Structures are given as C-alpha cells and as structure tokens.
Structure 1
Amino acid sequence: MIIATWNVRGLQQLPTQAAIVDFVRTHKIDVMGLLETKYKKENYTFFLKNNFREWKAMENFEMIENSRMLLMWNPSKVTLEPIRVEEQAIYTKIRCLTSNNTFHFVLVYGLHTIPVIDPLWDSLVKHVVKDEPTLVSSDFNNVLAEDERVEGSVHTEYEIKNMVDTCALLGLEDIMSMGCKYTCKNHAISSKIDRAMINDAWFTKGYVASTEFLPSRPYTDHSPTVTTLFEFKKHLKQFNIKEFSELSKRVKETGEKLEALQKQADRDTSDLALRVQITNQKKKTAYLEKFEREYFKQKAIFKHLLLSDRSTSFFHSLVKRNNSRNYIAFLYRRDGTITRDQEEIISEFVKFYSTLLGTKKEPEPIKVDICRQGPLVSEEDSRVMVRPITVEEIKEALFDIGNDKAPGPDGYSSAFFKKQWERVGKDVVEEVKEFFEKGQLLKNFNTTVISLIPKTSINPTVGDYRSFSYCYVFYKIFTKIRSRRMAPLLKLVDNAQSAFIPGRHIMDNIHLAQGLIRGYAEKKNAPKCTVKISDPSYMC
C-alpha cells in the first residue's frame, strides 16, 4: 500500500494536473493528499471525473480560503473512513484491502505563523489516538531542529518548541527515508518541512514503513512524500512470536493453577498434601515469571525494566518496536542506486564487511631506537605481565562481566557460566590457561556476530549503520585478563594523551580544539592563528 502527499502550490494549471495524474499512475499511489490546491469545489469535481473517475475524495475547502487540502483514495485498494475535518488537518481511518491492516491517517497542512499554527498542535494532541497505529504526513510548515533549514532566518527554540513537544507527547518520529533531505526549496532557502511520521503504536502493531522524498518537479517547490506501508516480515530472526506466546501462556496457566490451589486450601485447611503442592506451584510460577522477565529484558533493552516487577504489555510492545526498527526496507548501494531486494541488501553488507575486516596489510616495522628514547617497561613489570594465569584471575574476570550483557554467537551469556560454575568452571579454567600458554585460539572463539544500528534516517548506505560485535564469553575473559595486567603500565603513557587514561576521554582534545577555534570567523575578534604539528619521525 502506498500513500503520497504533495504541496502542489495550485491545481489550476493543466501541466500541474497532468503531472499529478502521471505521478499517481507511475508510483501506483493508493491514497493521495494534495495541499494548497487553490481550487473551487466544482473544479476539483471536474478534475476527479476526468482523471480519477473511480476514486473517492474529501476536502476542507469550506473551512478555509484558498482551498487547502484535497484527499483522494482508490476504493478498490483501501477503505477510508473520515473522522474529523479541520482547517489544518484531516483525520481518517484507513483499512488496506490487501493486507487487512487498519491504521489512522492524518493529513496535515500547517499555517505559516506561530499564532495561527498553534491550534494544529493542540488538535493533534487531542485527536491522535496514541494506542492505535497512526501515520501523520504532509507539510507541517515547521522544522524540528535548527539544521533542517539552510539560509534565511534562523529558527529559534520558541518557533520549534511546540512541534517538538507535540511529537514527544504523542511518540511521533520520522520514518526511515530516502531522497531529498530538504523538502522545500524557496529561492535560496532550503528546509525540511514536509515529513511522514508514525507513533509508538505503529511499532507495537508490527507494521513497517519507508518514505521517499522525490524532487519537486517544475510546478512546485515542495517534494512529494511517498510512503510505502507493508507488514512486518515474519522471517526475520530477531524475534520468534511463537515462542514468546508459548512462554507467556505458560506463565498465565501456572498463575491460574496456583490461584485455584490457594482457593482450595482456603476451604480445606487440614490437607497437608495440598500445602506441599501449593509450595511447589509457587516455586514453578515464580521461576517462569522470572524467566519471562529476563527474556524480555534481553529483548527490550530498556533500563526501566530493572525497576519493574513483571513484564507487562508495555515491554512486549517495546520488543515489537525494536524489531520493526531492525528491518532494513531499502539501502543505497555504493554506486548511488537504491535496492529494496532483501538478498541484495544482505549482499551489500557482506561485501562491505568482507572488505573492511578482511583486508590484509603488512605492518610497518617498529622503530626500536625511537621507542627506547621514551619510558620503557621494567623487568619487574615484564615478569608480572607473563606470570602464569591463576584460577582466581579467571574467575574474577568472568564474574566482572555483567549478567545483562549480550550473549555471544552460541547464545550463552556470562550469567550461565556464573550460575553453573561448579559444573563448568574446571573446563573454563583449562581453556583459558591453554590459550595463554600455547598462544592459540579456537576459531569459533574468535567469531563474532555483527549487529547493525542505524545512525541516520535519511538515505542510508551500508556505512550509515554502526556495527556492534557480540563476542563469546571466553573471548571477553581473555581480554579482561590482559587488560587488567596491562593497567599498571598506563603510567608509561604521556600526560598529553587523553585516550586509555583513567579519568580522561578520547573526545577531550577534540572539545579543547573546538573551544580554541570558536569565533575565528567573527571579524570583531582579534586575529588568531592555529598551527598543527605532526612529526612522522615520532610514530612508532
């Protein structure tokens, strides 16, 4: 299903009408919202009769001058129920006849100044149903951040505050998009005022959407917004709905059974066997509830869960939300073209990381003479570094890993090894000692799972996904032991360095440099000069 919105800056001209008809047919639009039509009702009826004979439509022409909004839809693809019509918004409820999915759709056209646009934010807060999936799209005539406008007067916090507050209150956020970053280009001023946004309930329902902002064409200065909606793909391995439902069902059944036994014991207080049965049932219920809570803690990745007493529907919705976000609907290839094919998307990531992680390069020889001019590791420190690994070191390194850290590719977290230390501790110690004594590591232990986190919501490429590597617990133990032994050697690092030093941060020098050069471009300041010194001879 495809929904489009477009500020056409007037529908009177025949070339504009022809462009809209071609746009709808080319992109196979099912629902089309047109803004600033500047059309009379009799004219738009004639326009629909000639070009969209089978379509239905609604508008707000009688509520505001210049005929602001016209909403059209194809009844063979969707059913649309009008809910409310206002000067700056049209509220509807849509059901896709292909997937049978139902959601709310709000067509928005914000007015130009703060006093007249404020009623729009009040209306959205009042009429958007937060518990039901909602898509809000079109021309907001406002930006969400200062960097969404280039040239022209700078938007103040006062101008964007109401929109920011409204989106935060309703849980609205931009859909992952491609195409034009700035959707309105008025002379030298470029800004992002057209957008498509969805709420929290959209993720809870498991829906997925992607948006494309196309070039504006010659008849208007606004980009058309094309939003494609489709169901969450069940083949994604991030979340298994079947197992989740079985777990919750078992928790519910054990709780109901415990409640029934307790009611029975209240009627018959002399039945000792029943008391034993209740005790066992309590343990079973508590165990399953704890298991359910831990399961969804790993899935939801939400700190507030640590303070809750049970996994409620709120946390189930977070799981669905996170997994909907994990779906990559489209990707820009390295040559600038777009792909929506899942196999091609997978192939692009494999090629990227094969090149990034698999490139071999001979290291440059260490300049020993230069190294000897600086502080050196003492013989005593050297002996401490290579002393035999002890059981206590291994156990301390393991138990220092948080229980809620992500498991490795084998699915085992540090919590498993801690709780089963009496059974597996001996094997863990032998494996770790073998690594440090022989200097060899099993290939499986050196394997990681790369998880991708999007860094941008506009025109994503492979490089726009931040990668996180999930390592085996054994690998984490090796690293912790080595880092602990090397910690005393940090005294050799020069005081000018900011990385790897306790109490310092690698970004400190960057912030210092930014502070020093701030104001260089201002003419009223005194002349300044910065010199960057980099001597390759000191690189070893």
Structure 2
Amino acid sequence: MADNESVIITVVYGASEVIDCRNLWITLETLAQQCSDIPWMVGGDFNAVRDLNEVCGISGNIRMATEEFNAGILEAGLIPLPMQGEWFTWHNCSSSMRSLWKRLDRILINDRWLARFPSAYYHSLTPRTSDHSPLNIWHHEIVGIPMYAVTRKLKALKPVFRLQRRNKGDLTMNVQLAKGFLDEAQQLRRVMRRILQINDENGFRHTDLGEVAHEFVSYYQNLLGGTRRRLSVDIRYLRPWARHSITDEEANQLLLPLSADDVKQAMFDIADDKAPGPDGYSSRFFKAAWPVVGEEVTRAVLDFFSTGKLLKIPE
C-alpha cells in the first residue's frame, strides 16, 4: 500500500437488544456515505446473525433482528470478507439442552476495499473453551522429522476438540443418531444391490449364494492368473485406439519434483465430505486450518516424497 493511501477500519461491538442495534445500522449507513471513495472495513461482534444457518441450538425469535441486520448491511453497501476457520463464533457455555452456538462475529467490507485488496480474507478461530487454543498447541516445538512433528501435534489437538464437543451439549448425540440412520441406509443399499444369481461360462445358472461367490472367485482367478497373463502384447497395435499419447515434454513434466503449491492443490481438491483418515482428521479440517497448519503439513508431505520414509500407523 502506498504511503499516502488511506483506509478506514471500524470496530463494532453490537448491543444485545434489537431496538438498540438499530442505532448501529443507522450509524453504518451514515459512515458509508463518508467512506464511499475509501477502502472501508467493518468488523467485530455484531450480536446478530444473517440467517438461520448461523444458529445451532434453541434460540428465540430472531426474524426481525435478522431482517434489520441484512437491511442495514445492504443500505451501507457492505459485503462479507471471505472467511476461513470456524463457522460459529459464540457459545453460551452450556452443556445442557439449552446449548447454543451462533455466528455473531464477522468482517464486512465495501467495494473499494475489495478492489484494493481482492485476495484479502480473515481466519475465525475456535471460541475458547480452555486455556489452550489449537493455535498455541500447533506452534509448540517438536523435535523430529516433519511427518512426526505433524502427527504429534494432531494427536495433541484431540483432547481440545473432545472438550469442545462435550461443551456443545447434545450435538454429539445428534451426530451418533445420524450415523445410525446412515448405517441402516447403507445396509439396506447393500441388501438391495446383492447379486442373487449368476451364469457361469457354460451358461448354467447358479442361485446358491455360496455358488455365486465361487463363480466370482473362479472368474477373476482365470482372468488374472490364467494363460492370458503370459501372452505378450505389442503396444503398437493399441496406438490406433489411444485417444492421446503423451509427448516427451509431458512425460518430463510428470517427473518434476512436487512443489508446495502442488501439495496445497491436492489437499483442496479433496471433497469436504470424504471419510477421515486413521487419525480422525478429514480434509475439511486441514482446509479450514491451512493458514495455521499448512506450512508444516506441506513440509511433511514433501519430506516423504524426498526420502520415501512413511511413519507406521499406530495400532
């Protein structure tokens, strides 16, 4: 940013009552007129949510507060700054059925800020439930190869996350119920997709489940271990059917060493809903915490491709 360039940052701490919040929305509308030609950022605790997906738990009627909040933002010409990290930013610290989570904290910007800082974003950390935050745990120094350091820190994070889950009250129970329903649905799907009969290579039909399984095993034994495996194939006969043959340049590209960008792209290409690995951490965790853990995870991955050493998965 140039020395003579100015920006305006407004810090917000919203009132808890709807009628008092109206003064804040009016103030933001007034400030917007003064900041129309200057990059402007507004952030803090607005004490209001924008829609129902920003609330988890039993809450009172928030329709009027939500409508007025969205109208105030619209009139002020503010848009959300991209966010990474935790979705909910506030918890009522209850472990009972009244446990409540909300997204009350956020950062908004005007179009001038977006034009001047198009790649800016902010990171929302987990609401504190103990004296140790995930950020502090991750920054502890651990002696060892990069992959060992990452696995030790991931293991150290688990007690913190378990405590947070307990403080979220009945959310854990809901997750277990959902898993139960999913298991039943998957079991039903397996039953529906079961093969009840099969014809062998001579055309005879088999309906006994044991015979069906035997025919499958027999087929693949012949396919993978039969005489066909010993037949040589001239690759030249396959070329007319090949859609694309790589050039020498493309082949050389495949041999290039991995970069940090390659590691990040591979991680972010994994869908959020993919099953977690043996350590219990899904790709969604690493994406959300990438500003904190990305550098060390990348170093561990690159170290593996350089040395070929992989830690044994603990039993």
Is the pair's TM-score, using the shorter chain for normalization, greater than 0.5? no
Q: Into which bin does the TM-score normalised by the smaller protein fall?
A: 0.3 to 0.5
Task: Determine which structure has the larger helix proportion and give its number.
Answer: 2
TM-score by length of 1: 0.24
**Normalising by structure 2, what TM-score?**
0.39
Judging by fraction of residues, say which structure has more strand: 1
Q: Which has the higher contact order (CA 8 A, sep 6+)?
A: 2
